[in-house]
Amino acid sequence: MESHMTQINKSLGFLAITTVFLLSGCSHRVADLSIVSTKNIDLTQVSKLDASAARRFSGEDCSFFLLNQYPFLNKIPNLEMAVDKALKKGNGNVMLDEVTVESDVWAVLGNVKCIQAEGAVLNVPPKVYP
């Protein structure tokens, strides 16, 4: 009876270690920025903005990689898409004040790689060219 319980305990231990390994991930901060925009903005107007009154929003762009090498549909996570999603959520065109960029990798029968951008979203008048 004891050997049967030992075998069950070993199987459960192996199952737990395998589950933790398959669901493990890693996250790290890529950058801390003062100002980020993917739009044409008038930089002379930025100093007139009050970032303390703005709300923070985040955007994320992810893709699935098969066997940690092959991006599904040839889509690689893109910082520009993550920033655009945050700007759209905040209905603005520039992110100010402690903008953070993070990268995540999660292993779930392949890898899910993500890039996230978060910051205070504001509106700046667009740049007008003569």
pLDDT of residue 36: 82
Token readout for 57 is 């929003």
Contact 93, 87 (CB under 8 A): yes
pLDDT digits (tens, 9 = 90+) for 3-18: 666 777 667 776 766 6
Q: What are 71-110's pLDDT values in tens digits? A: 677 678 888 888 899 888 988 877 766 788 887 777 666 6
In the chain, pLDDT over 90 holds for what percent of residues?
A: 2
Q: Which pTM was predicted?
A: 0.69
Determine whether 90 is exposed, middle or buried from the number of CB atoms within 10 Å of its CB (0-12, 13-18, 19+).
buried
Ranges of each domain in the chain: 25-122
